Amino acid sequence: MKQFGLTQVPCEPHLFAVQKTIKQREYTLIVPVYMDDLFPIGNKILTGQFKEYIGKYLDVTILGNPSFFLGIRVTRNRTAIPPSLTINQEVYAISILEKHNVDMNKISRCPMSQLGTTCVERQEEEPKASSEQIQMYQSQIGSLMYLMLGTRPDITYSVGCLVRFAHDPSKKHFQHLSGRTSAVA
């Protein structure tokens, strides 16, 4: 990677980038790396050079343009002016809702408006969640964190607030997380 000129992005250790001049134009190549998957993004000439270069050192299979990468849908429109690349996690988000039986009619566009600006701990008089319920809560929070980190930074505050209580969620925390009112007896 370094011999090709790629440098590791300081704030993201699994992301490499390089800028190269080709025919007096500056191009950028970005290469996210996950385990043994590489996803070169950039100008066709530069990505082609990278694929050819990396193929000399590693046994690679070029799969063409990806439509999904780590649960993120990738859509390219090379005919648009300027060309565009969009990402979303719609399929993943729907799978989260289905997995946790979330009532689609109770989803709030702005969940923190119901929760308020402060998150409070479970009160002593409130019933304690069982270990299974806590595990379910933590699983849902983890799913939302992946969604938040991938394509939904707009839910960061809400998830950050609710994750603080992952060790001891109250009935209110369950309600705000999933829209259900009977998660904790």
Residue 180: the pLDDT is: 46
Q: Quick one: 76 exposed, middle or buried, by C-beta within 10 A (0-12, 13-18, 19+)?
A: middle
120 C-beta neighbours (distance < 10 Å), count: 11
Contacts 24+ apart (CB under 8 A), 129-135: 129/168, 129/169, 129/170, 129/174, 129/184, 133/169, 133/174, 133/183, 133/184, 134/166, 134/167, 134/168, 134/169
pTM of the model: 0.69
Residue 89: the pLDDT is: 93
Best CA proximity match to 27, nearest among 3, 50, 9, 10? 50
- Could you say which residues of the chain have pLDDT below 70? 106-118, 178-185
